Chains A and B, each alone.
Chain A
């Protein structure tokens, strides 16, 4: 057994997790300045969120749902001044191997940040992911100073690590035993009553782009489709394994899969290819989740109208996240799909980022008034809480949702 596997196994032991939790709580209390009054509510209720995701209720408060938040925004909100943002970003994009103390320590702090931020802001869940050591390609841009000292990690759009069959054969594919569950187990143990873990999973199409580069993937989907299929199959098997193990843990409440498949005009690849080779594999992944009777949320940016019915009827997603006003405002998507899907978020990123607080408040109310009465809706951003979203706008969205819920409970 290699050293990383040994480390994984050690870290997953109940004793170590309990000890780490005690330490983690102390760390959280020391480093973070929580402001619970900014949050949606003081008491989380994952069972209610589950009913919203499965469209089993039209009553009760509208929850907040975000797929993830940039570490800078969370650290700023929690007042954690020396939070290791660089390492957290690398971990978030799964480009930092968790095989050294520096990364492990940063990862542990990141878990604590996510837990405390989620609890403070009144979410019913916190998000983390099992460790699956797939090497991924990325660019990093040092745009510090010019843009507020922040840098981002970007997908390589032109080429990736796997450019051809030879590279596929030589790729260091992880084995199921390389999967580490510490983040999920730790979070499940640390979360307070009422909260559960939403397991984040990179989608297979997302990983195809990361491993091959989108342009290379696009060309190969026509000229060498079997290569793409073989990579997708490897990724599917790993996802099935990671989720099968994660979903069997107590206090895991659901799965959030990130799977951007669309541009503004339509799907990135031909819908025929998606239907034949990607959709059936996504279905296998969802089936694993459904075996544990957990809800499955799909995050997908862009216009994926061409495959929405496939995602609903074949793949079996319960909820969809990520909406852009430039493509279709969330209310219109809600109108079209709310009888089949829960619709999550949709407060447009441009408004959240560049808009005035009053406009954010107005739009939040507008969406809530349209969608909330029907059930199967949760408020949130149209994509993620990116580092460049002003905190006051984010708080405004939360505050308006809080007011809406209060008024609703008094009716």
Chain B
């Protein structure tokens, strides 16, 4: 499993998939592979990104390798009835087309074993509200990268909270112009300074 973790860490997708197949053929429990090797190494990648040793390219290729391993494991887990730890709905708010930061958060969340419903970019409040109704997520993540779309984010958060007043869904926000003060200003539950912190927040909700 050490080898598997290394393949993922350094973005070796083909080797990851082959190693997963090999280990499963040798009798390894897919859940064990996921929980004891794959998720921990993605945590490590996130921590290396936080500490400035890994950068966006390293995260992307690690995520891609993880995905190639997950492509083997997921059908087995689904057949066994094993569900993800929880669901997160995520999107970039209406009027904003930036998606790279959001995609890095998705990488961190999926790497940690969560199911992510990606609503994409330029997402109106109604779409977030419907997605919350359909998927009953632990948390909903909103991304914005412009000062103008921060105003949209404020409005979206208010609408979500009004529409789902009875739900306990937590709202987390992220994006370059944002900070904790802004999160408080708009009644969001969390401001994620980076993908790893967003993942840690969602984990804390379990």
Residues of chain A having any CB pair with chain B under 8 Å: 139, 141, 143, 146-147, 152, 154, 157-158, 214-215, 218-219, 221-223, 263-270, 302, 306, 324, 326, 349-350, 352-354, 386, 388
A-B contact count (CB 8 A): 87
Within 8 A of A (CB), among B26-50: 49-50
- Say yes or no: B147 contacts A350, CB within 8 Å: yes
At the interface, yes or no: B126 with Cβ under 8 Å from chain A?
Answer: no
- Say yes or no: B58 contacts A143, CB within 8 Å: no
- Say yes or no: B58 contacts A270, CB within 8 Å: yes
- Say yes or no: B176 contacts A326, CB within 8 Å: yes
A221 CB contacts on chain B under 8 angstroms:
57
B189 CB contacts on chain A under 8 angstroms:
none
From B61, B101, B151, contact of A354 by CB (8 A): B151
- Say yes or no: A147 contacts B148, CB within 8 Å: yes
- Say yes or no: A326 contacts B146, CB within 8 Å: no
The 6 closest A-B pairs by CB, nearest first: A353-B147, A388-B148, A218-B57, A154-B97, A157-B100, A270-B55
At the interface, yes or no: B122 with Cβ under 8 Å from chain A?
Answer: yes
Q: Tell me, in angstroms, the Cα distance from A216 to B98 when the chains sit together.
A: 15
A139 CB contacts on chain B under 8 angstroms:
97
A222-B57, A222-B61 known; A266 vs B52 contact (CB < 8 Å)? yes
At the interface, yes or no: B99 with Cβ under 8 Å from chain A?
Answer: yes
The residue in chain B whose Cβ has the minimal distance to the Cβ of A138 is B97
A158 CB contacts on chain B under 8 angstroms:
99-100
- Say yes or no: B94 contacts A268, CB within 8 Å: no
Q: Interface residues of B, CB < 8 Å — how many?
A: 32
The residue in chain B whose Cβ has the minimal distance to the Cβ of A274 is B55
Q: Tell me, in angstroms, the Cα distance from A126 to B61 when the chains sit together.
A: 43
At the interface, yes or no: B86 with Cβ under 8 Å from chain A?
Answer: no
Nearest-neighbour CB distance to chain A for B57, whole angstroms, equals: 4
- Say yes or no: B147 contacts A388, CB within 8 Å: yes
The residue in chain A whose Cβ has the minimal distance to the Cβ of B94 is A146
At the interface, yes or no: B161 with Cβ under 8 Å from chain A?
Answer: no
Beyond the given pairs A269-B57, A350-B150, A354-B150, 17 more chain A to chain B contacts, judged by CB atoms under 8 angstroms and listed by A's residue number, are A141-B95, A147-B95, A215-B60, A218-B57, A219-B57, A219-B61, A264-B193, A264-B194, A266-B52, A270-B58, A302-B176, A326-B176, A349-B147, A350-B147, A353-B150, A354-B147, A386-B147
From A215, A222, A266, A350, contact of B177 by CB (8 A): A350
A146 CB contacts on chain B under 8 angstroms:
94-95
Nearest-neighbour CB distance to chain A for B182, whole angstroms, equals: 8
